[in-house]
Structure 1
Amino acid sequence: MGLSISVGALSTPDMRDEAEVLHRALAAEGVVWREPAAPLDAAGAFSAGFPYSYLSGLRRVYVLHRLGEPVTGARGVSREQYEEDLERVDDETVMFDSHLLCHADHEGYYVPAEFEDPLFLPEEAGVPGAGMVGSSGALLAELQGFAAALGIRLAADGSLDPAESARLDALPGDDPFEPEVFTWHQLYQACRASLATGRAIVFG
């Protein structure tokens, strides 16, 4: 079992009701955004997937960087150290200010709307992912902020050029940061697709 992420899924007929639930809940919080009704063509859509542990590993790297600690790949530390690091992730999560950390592992949304901190929608709103909704733009900014800690080379404007993207795709499976880099790259691409098309990133 693993996490799947997609951009464009909320435009499909099967998810129209789910989209309306999200629209109403966001509107109640003053967030003006709606998933475009027209289906997204294949060129603009995005989908990917990875194990849940990969997302936990990426959050760990983000927190180590945020705390100014040396960044290591999950493969390079003991189980005991990894568990200690995850306790730090928990401590940083309850600051409620990170869009990468404050989101359900297995469901929920990032939407292409601007808001500083993650949203915590009321339970009665019925939004998947315990009502936690992130901003695609804010998530992208967080990803850009610690890219260098993973050895990812961004352009001056924070973009990822095609050559660097291809290098990340070809990273050897035995690279110590391969799980974290793979996850970073998929989330980065999802954010870019979300912002370019005006559609939500869907975790499922």
Structure 2
Amino acid sequence: MIDRVITSGTFSLDGGTWDVDNNVWLVGDAREVVVIDAAHDAAAIAERVGGRGVRAIVCTHAHNDHINAARDLAERTGAPIRLHPADQVLWEQVYGPEVAYEPLGDGDKLTVGGIALQVLHTPGHAPGAICLYAPDLGALFSGDTLFKGGPGATGRSYSSFETIIDSIKERLLTLPPETVVHTGHGDSTSIGAEAPHLEEWIARGH
């Protein structure tokens, strides 16, 4: 089961602020879910969770628009927050050092409702950016690493165009082409649909 809540708020970094709509993904079954990217509105996310247990609140990276409801949702549900520690500097811009999370690493596996989610470390948009791959569902939850139309933005602090291209080439384009890509913003796509476009980006990035 894959469910989505779209929440609205702002993204702030490097002194700028932008209005954004975020995709919050819920993966699991009728008993339990993992929440991917608790953005903006913990009440709306909790309403969609309903009576199900929350196994974890997974942050694909620590830009404020992907984590700003994580503490509130964790307090409501008792679920741990999970994040790759390479994003500590971004995390502390929102929460300081006092809000704890459990570290995620490349190759870690989360299981929820009988569904296995594999952690792929895909730095570039942020140092600790990850994607979650669910082979049983034929789905990838890409955060802001890959969108319909190309890679995530790399024009701000702690980001790197060359690094995100390497991550996509080495970690994502190797997945089956029919894999559905559920993104952090906007419409879903597939690995097969993006691969030809991304080859152009790869050629330009090297």
Q: Same fold per TM (> 0.5)?
A: no
TM-score by length of 2: 0.28
- Give the number of the structure whose residues are more often helix, by fraction: 1
Higher RCO (CA-CA < 8 Å; seq separation 6+): 1
The higher radius of gyration belongs to 1
